Amino acid sequence: MPQITNARGYPIGAMSRETGVNIETIRYYERIELMPKPDRTAGGNRQYTHDHLKRLAFIKRSRELGFGIEEIRAMLTMVDQDSVTCGEVHAMTTEHLDSVKEKIRHLKKLERALTGMAAECAKGDVPDCPIIETLFEACNPDRNKTAR
Amino acid sequence: MPQITNARGYPIGAMSRETGVNIETIRYYERIELMPKPDRTAGGNRQYTHDHLKRLAFIKRSRELGFGIEEIRAMLTMVDQDSVTCGEVHAMTTEHLDSVKEKIRHLKKLERALTGMAAECAKGDVPDCPIIETLFEACNPDRNKTAR
DNA sequence: GTACCGTCTGTAGCGACTACAGATGAAAGG
DNA sequence: CCTTTCATCTGTAGTCGCTACAGACGGTAC
């Protein structure tokens, strides 16, 4: 079976178009060994297979969901070694989910603070701005303890 | 009035303790000219004034609220030039607030997707993982259009 | 004097790309 | 075969906002 399935494979531009991943980013993924090195044409251009495409799509989707490169690498390593266990993957997912929830909590705090500040402001041509004043006020409750 | 108000000024460590800003970060702010260069002792150590302290606290508070360095620089430049107008500051604040809201929206989308994926998963020792399968499925609706 | 901390400069690293510059490769039309 | 035009190549440096060293000096208390 020395037969090639995909006539000539995908050049990098096709990979980029199919997945929405920037060409430079694809090369970057190769450099950091997240994507395996593809074959080259006689002239030295990369030629990807359908497996490369699937892998890149996996990476894209995972990145969109906010997984970090090392988390993705860990998942792909499991896939490569056929050692995927649902439990491990679930743990990684919920851990990541927790960090997303944490970020949401943090951003909501900022949202409340900023909304409050914006509401204070008459937003005219006035030079005395309550927003600036708020920012100049240190509002850390344990500052008193540290100050001597 | 060649009289110095603050006996000997604050060394950088005191600035750090008072504001909670890392020493290295304070020096970084000086390098990028967000903080002005302070006087030095005979030996070359930095000596900050109370004004420096106020400014650093402003920066800290603004960073905590998620403002970028360049936004903070813009606000401080207005303060320095006594050209603060409430309208401008309000505009910057609401712009930033919008970007915070946008981030929250985005993270909530991730949260929903991840929660759904985690729920699919039996999380046992099984090698067939619905999470991995979902990640391998391209689910971009306009992929069909591009693919030829 | 000496112990010991604080501070100094300068540089390199993080994560995840992105943006060039300058040189080839590939394919289509004449 | 030649030209044009696009695609792709390598390599390096920049982004943001710090953080982490290394190795040398400053300042103060005993």
Q: Mean pLDDT in chain B? A: 87
Suggest the residue from A114, A135, A144 to mutate for an interface test with chain B (most B CBs closer than 10 A): A135
**CA torsion angle for B75, B77, B79, B85 (degrees, to 10)?**
-60
Cβ proximity of B19 and B56 under 8 Å = yes
For residue B138, what pLDDT is reported?
Answer: 64
The answer to whether position B42 is within a domain reads: yes
CATH of the domain at B19: 1.10.1660.10
The answer to whether position A117 is within a domain reads: no
User: pLDDT tens for residues B19-38?
Assistant: 999 999 999 999 999 999 99
CA distance to partner chain B, nearest, from residue A38 (Å): 20
Nearest chain A residue to B91 by CA: give it. Answer: A123
The answer to whether position B16 is within a domain reads: yes
Q: Provide the angle, in degrees to the nearest 10, between the axes of the packed helices B69-80 and B50-64.
A: 140
B68: CB within 7 A of chain D nucleic strand = yes
Is the per-residue pLDDT at A4 higher than 50? no
Is the per-residue pLDDT at B9 higher than 50? yes
User: pLDDT tens for residues B33-89?
Assistant: 999 999 999 999 999 999 999 999 999 999 999 999 999 999 999 999 999 998 999
A58: CB within 7 A of chain C nucleic strand = no
User: pLDDT tens for residues A82-135?
Assistant: 999 989 999 999 999 999 999 999 999 999 999 999 998 877 777 789 999 999
Mean pLDDT score, B126-147: 68
Question: How many angstroms is C1' of C4 away from CA of B16?
Answer: 20
The answer to whether position B27 is within a domain reads: yes
The answer to whether position A146 is within a domain reads: no
The encoded tokens of residue B145 equal 């259009």
Q: Provide the angle, in degrees to the nearest 10, between the axes of the packed helices A69-80 and A86-120.
A: 160
Q: Measure the CA angle with vertex B11, ends B5 and B14; round to 5°.
A: 100
| Binary contact (B108, A110; C-beta < 8 A) | no
For residue B146, what pLDDT is reported?
Answer: 36
Alpha helices (H) along chain B: 12-19, 23-31, 50-64, 69-80, 86-120, 130-136, 143-146
B57, B107, B123 member nearest A103 (Cβ)? B107
Question: How many angstroms is C1' of D22 away from CA of B24?
Answer: 15
The answer to whether position B85 is within a domain reads: no
Is the per-residue pLDDT at A140 higher than 80? no
Residue range of the domain that includes B33? 1-68
Q: How many domains does chain B have?
A: 1
For residue A144, what pLDDT is reported?
Answer: 36
Is the per-residue pLDDT at B139 higher than 70? no
For residue A121, what pLDDT is reported?
Answer: 86
Is the per-residue pLDDT at B3 higher than 80? no
Q: How far apart are CA B66 and CA A22, in angstroms?
A: 28
ipTM, two decimals: 0.84
Is the per-residue pLDDT at A7 higher than 70? no
For residue A127, what pLDDT is reported?
Answer: 72
Is the per-residue pLDDT at B104 higher than 70? yes
The answer to whether position A100 is within a domain reads: no
Is the per-residue pLDDT at A68 higher than 60? yes
Is the per-residue pLDDT at B115 higher than 50? yes
The answer to whether position A22 is within a domain reads: yes
